[in-house]
Amino acid sequence: MKFLNVEIPVKNLPVLDPGFVPLGLFFQAYEKGATQPLCIAVERGGGQIGTWECKVYGTPEMKSADEYYVDRLVKFLLWSWGGFKVSICGSDALAAYVADAYRQGGSRAFDCDFMANVYERPFEVEALPYSQKPTAFQKSESVGRHLDGARIGFDAGGSDRKGSAGIDGETIYSEEVVWYPKTISDPNYHYQGILAALHTAAAKILEKGRKVDGIGVSSAGDFIDNRCMVASLFLKVSKEDFDAQVKNIYTRAAEELGRTLGYEIPVVVANDGDVSALAGAMGLKENGIMGIAMGTSEAVGFVDRSGNICGWLNELAFAPVDGQPDAMRDEWSGDIGCGVKYFSQDGVIKLAPAAGIELDEVLSPAEKLKAVQALMNDGDGRAAAIYRSIGVHLAHSLALYHDMYHFRHVLLLGRVMSGRGGELVIEECGRVLRDEYSELADMIHLALPDEKFRRVGQSAAAASLPEIKK
């Protein structure tokens, strides 16, 4: 496979997506001939800076490849680490190219605005000599794994919300409730749904003669100090209402429950991807875990080899994995080839026509996924081709993810991974890893939790987030 004057050695392509260009393999092939040192630094809150050392060509004939490489790499680093400032060290021309993209009206304007909103400061790109590259400074912290006391866990997904109650590490209650957060503009709808889940779980604890000692929340979105900075769950909510009622929506609900019960309840809110990784670490009793929840979107989290959360953004739904020019476009970010269109219900739906499956357009995305799953359960070979293709996508993308995260285990959750389809994804992913990334295949373990854990495990892990002060 040749792409931008770079020959990419790829042996396995998805049967339903033969134009797929594995971005990780492109990076590897491109870098083999590059000689000009370049450092990309990304700064985020607390003075933390991530740095990525690489090389570019810097020649006229490889100009397009250089620009594409840096564009995709900067994009990947931003959605992995998060940040409000990018320093391109070693090439003024490539720095100018990136700066032009990350401006109002530029090709990466969405990314620019997103990061500015998350970190509540203007986004900027600067050029520096390679000799003046910033020094990396990253920190991690221990989070969760607290099982003592009576706890509520809440997981806010795009299609359903899950609540649980546990006492001293034993789950005494769990529930799933269908809701439609992405289609509702009134934030009171979301607030009342959250509050109802907390009250229901609290009642189960009170029935046992205990008080509620803590509340842990797992939610799609990006959170700083328990505040929701950006979240697709509240897609239809106006900015005014978001700032006034959503940023503190989970702490407000916890405070109201506390007022009802007559005492203050500690609450911790975390990104659902990080909680999925935490759930895996707790279930496997291991560290170095990447959690990938494939549901309404792709939610990714990471627990490092020390058992800590790194404080990274980990929004790999919007990080690129596919280099093909006509890759599917994400409606929210406006970019193409990003993880959300491969590792979510959208990934299943987009492959259905290529498999010869016609899905009724009146169905919701969740209902379309269920229709494909029903075919899979009936042994339909067309549905099997969809899941095998996703398995190939996943293998190539895990190789890309591993370059940054160095995980030992991958925990795969979410509705897409339910049933025989999920098992087929694992099988095909493992086959491609062994065939094309043999060293990596020996280093990592793919884990598929049991059905109950897949569906409610995150809310139970979320319950472990707050530390109860004695």
Question: Within a 13 Å sphere around the CA of 199, how many CA atoms are in the beta-carbon half?
Answer: 11
Alpha-carbon distance of 282 to 289, in angstroms, equals 10
Q: What is the pLDDT of residue 307?
A: 85
Q: What is the pLDDT of residue 278?
A: 85
Q: Same topology for domains 143-274 and 280-459, yes or no?
A: yes
User: Would the pLDDT of 457 be above 70?
Assistant: no
What's domain 143-274's superfamily in CATH?
ATPase, nucleotide binding domain (3.30.420.40)
Backbone angles phi, psi at 38, to 5 degrees: -145, 140
Q: Over the stretch 112-132, which tens digit does the pLDDT of each residue have?
A: 999 998 998 999 999 999 999
Contacts of 400 (CB under 8 A, 6+ apart): 22, 23, 24, 27, 76, 321
Q: Over the stretch 243-255, which tens digit does the pLDDT of each residue have?
A: 999 999 999 999 9
User: Would the pLDDT of 212 be above 90?
Assistant: yes
Q: What is the pLDDT of residue 456?
A: 47
User: Would the pLDDT of 452 be above 70?
Assistant: no
- Share the mean pLDDT of the chain: 93
Q: What is the pLDDT of residue 100?
A: 98
| Token pair belonging to 230 | 């950006």
Which comes out higher in pLDDT, residue 283 or 320?
320
Alpha-carbon distance of 418 to 454, in angstroms, equals 8
Q: What is the pLDDT of residue 299?
A: 85
Q: What is the pLDDT of residue 285?
A: 82
Helices (H) and strands (E) counted in the chain, each on its own, are 14, 19
User: Would the pLDDT of 460 be above 50?
Assistant: yes
Alpha-carbon distance of 56 to 32, in angstroms, equals 10
Domain boundaries, the chain: 34-132, 143-274, 280-459
The topology (CATH level 3) of 280-459 is Nucleotidyltransferase; domain 5 (3.30.420)
Contacts of 21 (CB under 8 A, 6+ apart): 1, 3, 8, 322, 323, 324
Strands (E), 158-305: 160-167, 170-178, 214-219, 222-224, 227-230, 267-271, 289-294, 298-303
Q: Over the stretch 61-110, which tens digit does the pLDDT of each residue have?
A: 999 999 999 999 999 999 999 999 999 999 999 999 999 999 999 999 99
Q: Over the stretch 148-202, which tens digit does the pLDDT of each residue have?
A: 999 999 999 888 899 999 999 899 999 999 999 989 999 999 999 999 999 999 9
Q: Is 46 exposed, middle or buried (0-12, 13-18, 19+ CB in 10 A)?
A: exposed
Q: What is the pLDDT of residue 78?
A: 97
User: Would the pLDDT of 354 be above 80?
Assistant: yes
Give this prediction's pTM.
0.86
Helix, strand or coil, per DSSP, at residue 31: helix
Q: What is the pLDDT of residue 311?
A: 79
Residue 277 is inside which H or E element, if any? Answer: helix 272-284
Q: What is the pLDDT of residue 309?
A: 80
Q: Over the stretch 28-62, which tens digit does the pLDDT of each residue have?
A: 999 999 999 999 999 998 899 999 999 999 999 99
User: Would the pLDDT of 352 be above 50?
Assistant: yes
